[in-house]
Structure 1
Amino acid sequence: MTLSVQFITMISMITGGIYLGMALDTFRRFQRHWKHNVFFLYFMEISFWLTQTFILYYTLYSVNAGELRVYVFVACLLGFATYQALLSNLYKRILERIISIILRIYQFFTKLLQWTVVAPIKYIFRLLFASVILLFNTILIVIGFTLKVLFLPIKWIAMLVYRLLPKKIKLFLHHLAGFCSKIQNICKRCLTYITSKWR
């Protein structure tokens, strides 16, 4: 291995050590989101270190064909120590700033999507449902009016017959009418409840 290759290897490993420090701080920053899940915590920890090992070795392989020497590890530790001593606090502040900006952009686009897509769709569905309910009520009113007109003569005849019935039959018919009225009120309340939920 020539001196130039050794020099480039040391610079690359020092840079790799600095990168490793940045990656570790980034990983620790996001670790709080899964630290309560033990299985996922171990999975992420193992995956992180395997990934960093692969990246550093790939860097070394690109520089000196993957030849490991003692000074390679020393250079990597030197870069990591330099980052921890000089750059860690600065990088953490920059990282928090970047995360804050990304969260604000995400919140902006979430609200934009809510107001431009979700809200109009919900309004259209509510409008359609209200139109269906209105049409249904109109049909019921028309049918009810038609039935009243058609059965008005029958009602007159029934009233005449009702007056001629015995008191026991009249009492039974009175209770039956009360029961039917209760069922009708329950149906009206259910329809009103369903309608209010979609407003």
Structure 2
Amino acid sequence: MNLGTQWLTMGLMLSSGLILGVFLDFYRVLTIRFRLRGWIISLIDLLYWVVSAGLVFGLLFWSNWGEMRFYFFVAVGVGFLLYFRWFSRTVTKMIRLFLYGMERLLFFCFRILRLCLWVPLLSLWQLAIVVLRFALQVIRWLLMPFLWLARPLYRPVQRWLEPCFIKGRNLIQRGKRWWNKIRAKGG
């Protein structure tokens, strides 16, 4: 491995340490912002380390065909420490500002969607219900004389069906009492 390749690899390892610091800050801000706890933290930790190892070894393989030297890993650590010393606060503030901006944008989009779609659809639904109720009242009012004239025709049918309706209503009430008794016992 010639000197140019070593300097290229050293620069890549230093920059990969900086990138790992950015990833870690992004991860920390997200866990604090969304209050992540428990096994999801372990899963994200595993994902962070898999991505980190893939990044470092991918860059190492790309720059010098995977030849590993101790000082390359020292460069990753130095890049990581330099990032936390000089850039961490600024990047953390920028990430928080970015997340705040994205939350505001999503909130704004949801409000626009609600105002443009949901509110008009709800208003149309309520208007349709009012129109339907009015139409049913008008139809009932118009049919009132015919129902009065037809009363002698449907009275015998009503007398014949009334016991069936009473039995059905009693059956439903017994079923409700039985169900409430079962629920009260907890079974």
Bin of the TM-score, shorter chain as denominator length = 0.7 to 0.9
Distance 1:48 1:138 in 2: 68
Tell me how far 1:129 sits from its aligned partner: 2.2
Look up the SS of the partner of 1:35 in the other structure.
Answer: coil
Q: Give how far 1:64 is off.
A: 1.1
Aligned position for 1:120: 120
CA offset at residue 11 of structure 1? 0.5
Q: Which residue of 2 aligns with 1:169?
A: none
Percent pairwise identity: 23
Q: Report the counterpart of residue 50 of structure 1 in structure 2.
A: 50
Q: Give the whole-Å Cα distance in 2 for the aligned partners of 1:28 and 1:10.
A: 27
Where structure 1 has 5 or more consecutive residues not aligned to the other structure, the ranges are: 155-199
Residue 18 of structure 1 aligns with which residue?
18
TM-score by structure 1 length?
0.70
- Maintained 8 Å contact 1:34/1:41: no
Residues 16-55 of structure 1: per-residue CA shift (max 9 Å, x gap): 001100100100111132533x222211211121112112
What is the alpha-carbon distance in structure 1 between the residues aligned to residue 135 and residue 56 of structure 2?
Answer: 70
Normalising by structure 2, what TM-score?
Answer: 0.74
Map of 1:1-199 to 2, 5 A cutoff? 1-32=1-32, 33=34, 35-36=36-37, 38-148=38-148, 150=149
CA contact (8 A) 1:18 1:83 kept: yes
Question: 1:51-99: per-residue Cα shift (whole Å, max 9, x none)?
Answer: 1211221122111112211011100001000001011011111111111
Moved over 6 A (4+): none
Inter-partner Cα distance in structure 1 for 2:85 and 2:47: 26
Cα RMSD after superposing both structures: 1.8
Alpha-carbon contact 1:9-1:72 (below 8 Å) kept:
yes
Cα distance in 1 for partners of 2:107, 2:98 equals 14
Aligned-partner Cα distance in 1 for 2:67–2:139:
86
Q: Quick one: which amino acid aligns to residue 93 of structure 2?
A: R
The answer (yes or no) to whether the contact 1:34–1:40 under 8 Å persists in 2 is no
SS in 2 for 1:56: helix
Q: Distance in 2 between matches of 1:58 and 1:123?
A: 57
Provide closer, same or farther for how the CA distance between residues 72 and 145 of structure 1 changes in structure 2, counting only shifts above 3 A.
farther
Aligned length: 151
User: 1:141: how far off?
Assistant: 2.2
Are the equivalent residues in 2 in contact too, given 1:13–1:76 (CA < 8 A)?
A: yes
**Which shows bigger deviation, 53-62 or 19-28?**
53-62
